[in-house]
Amino acid sequence: MPQTGERVDPFRSFNFLIEIEGIAQGSFTECSGLGSTTESIEHRQGGEGNVRKLPGRTTYSDITLKWGSTASTELWDWRQRIVDGNVDRQNVSVVVHDMDRSTEVARWNVTGAWPSKWELSGLNAKGNEILIETLVLSHEGVVRA
């Protein structure tokens, strides 16, 4: 915990890595969608004019990962197992490092993830952009460790 009056800089969004249990995929260029939502249920008790709001069901957003396409097929194979009807859930961690990339400063552990969508960026013979693969992960929960 910082001392009173001590400057605390926010984490940088580009110093991150993704750990996928059993899959040694290289660098990801983007990770988005990490979040949760809890429904608000309105309830009115008899005789009271006020409406109370109670927490309802919590859902978790799908996570989208993007990376430059390489010869590695590990993520493709994971997605293909789902397409073939073999549910293969993996635990995933999103890890943020300090500016020197030497110290872990934050971690979110995602449980029971499985790839629900894969997409390849557009191909264009006139362009010079990197070919980007996108994988969307559905999951059962996220915890900040």
Question: Cα-Cα-Cα-Cα dihedral of 70, 140, 81, 134, to 10°?
Answer: -30
At residue 102, the pLDDT reads: 81
With tokens 């309802």, the residue in question is 56
Band of the pLDDT at 7, cuts 50, 70, 90? confident
Supply 124's token pair.
Answer: 């264009």
Query: Mean pLDDT throughout 69-79?
Result: 93
At residue 21, the pLDDT reads: 87
At residue 2, the pLDDT reads: 62
At residue 116, the pLDDT reads: 98
At residue 23, the pLDDT reads: 80
With tokens 């006020």, the residue in question is 50
pLDDT digits (tens, 9 = 90+) for 85-137: 999 999 999 999 888 878 899 999 999 999 999 999 999 999 999 999 999 99
Neighbour tally for 110: CB within 10 Å: 22
Supply 86's token pair.
Answer: 């073999």
At residue 26, the pLDDT reads: 65
Cβ–Cβ < 8 Å for 96, 78: no
What residue ranges do the domains of the chain occupy?
24-41+62-90+112-144
pLDDT digits (tens, 9 = 90+) for 16-62: 889 998 786 768 999 999 999 999 999 988 777 788 899 999 999 99
